[in-house]
Structures are given as C-alpha cells and as structure tokens.
Amino acid sequence: RALGGRLLGETHHAGVLENWGQLWIYHSVALLVFFGTTNLLHLAGVTARWPYVLLFTVGLGAWAALFWALRRKGGPVSFVERQLAHVWGSGIVAINLVFLVEWLLGLPVLSLITMIAVTNGMLFMVKAGILSGFYYFQAAAVILAILPMTWFPRFAPLIFGMVAAACFFVTGLKYRLRRQRKEP
C-alpha cells in the first residue's frame, strides 16, 4: 500500500501542474487537430513526406511557441517547468525523427507511425517520475494504442491523437479544477 502510494502519488513538483491545467486542455484539442489532419492527408493518399514534416515542424512548432507564451502569462517559469518543456520538445523531435528514419529506410510515409506512440509513452513515464505516478497510466494507454494503430493502420494517426488528447485532457481538467477550487 505504501509502495503503491509512493509510485502513484504526486511528487513535490505536482503543484506546478495547476499552472498547466488549462494549457493541457488546449493541447488536447491541438493534438486532435494535428493528428486528425495527418489522418486526413493519409486517407487522401498523400504519400509525399514534406506535408507531414511541415505539419509537425512549422505547425507544431508554432503551437509550441503559442503554448509557451500562454504559460509565461501565468507567472515565472520554474525549473521543473523548464524540464517539462524539454520533455515535450523531445516529443516533437521524436515525431520528426520517425519521418527521417522512414525516409532513410526507404519506407512509405507513416509506416512507422506506431513508434510515435512508443516514444510518447516514454515521455509520459518521464512525467510520472517528475510529477505524479498517475502518468504511468497515461503512459500505458499511449503505449497500448499501438495495438489498434497496427490493427487499423489507415486510422493510426487519429487513434494516437485521440488517446494522447484524452490523456492531456483528463490531466488538464483535474488540475484546472483544482486551481479553480483554490482561487478566491
């Protein structure tokens, strides 16, 4: 019981999550847009790599800049928040590296889309260690998304986007509500 509480409980950094609640709700919507658009391109038969790379470099990069600007309006950025930004940024890099590996191996675009679920699952595990063990459940959900992604490859981007968006939305809502309860 004590071990479970330590593994799944919040760390002393968890208070910082209250600054991110609303932002993670926004991010859940952004994930649906980015991966929904990816799926639309895929279903439309777009096989060129550049539209996907453009979407996940320029598009996601612009979203990251807006996200960070919104966060800065909430007050000073703590050291642990900088760590979280690096974790999140590494997810963006991982997505684009998947596209690079596909190209280097001569594979069709989105052939390795399930690797995005694997890499992002690892990011949730890092967040579990930094913030709260609750993220272990989200890591498991994102990693287990590889199953329906491989069973229904035409919809793999959308499946990943929906699972990841749900993870961010649930956490965002939890900490947004907690912050509201504390406000006078």
Please give the residue that has the higher pLDDT: either 152 or 78: 152
pLDDT tens digits along 8-35: 666 666 677 777 888 889 999 999 999 9
Helix (H) or strand (E) holding 4: helix 2-8
The predicted model scores a pTM of 0.89
Does residue 80 have a pLDDT over 70?
Answer: yes
What's the CA gap between 135 and 93, in Å, rounded? 21
pLDDT tens digits along 104-128: 999 999 999 999 999 999 999 998 8
Q: What is the 3-state secondary structure (H, E, C) of 52-113?
A: HHHHHHHHHHHHHHHHHHHHHCCCCCCHHHHHHHHHHHHHHHHHHHHHHHHHHCCCCCCCCC
Amino acid at 82: R
Please give the residue that has the higher pLDDT: either 54 or 8: 54
Q: Collapsing DSSP states into helix, strand and coil, what is residue 125?
A: helix
Does residue 164 have a pLDDT over 90?
Answer: yes
**Directed axis angle between helix 156-182 and helix 114-130, to 10°?**
20
Which DSSP category does 157 fall into?
Answer: H
Q: For residue 145, what pLDDT is reported?
A: 98
Q: Can you count the helices (H) and strands (E) in the chain?
A: 9, 0
pLDDT, mean over the chain: 89
Domain boundaries, the chain: 41-178
What's the pLDDT band for 47 if we cut at 50, 70, 90? very high
What's the pLDDT band for 73 if we cut at 50, 70, 90? confident
Tell me what the mean pLDDT of segment 38-56 comes to.
Answer: 97
Count of other CB atoms within 10 angstroms of residue 133: 17
Residue 78 makes CB contacts below 8 A (sequence gap 6+) with 16
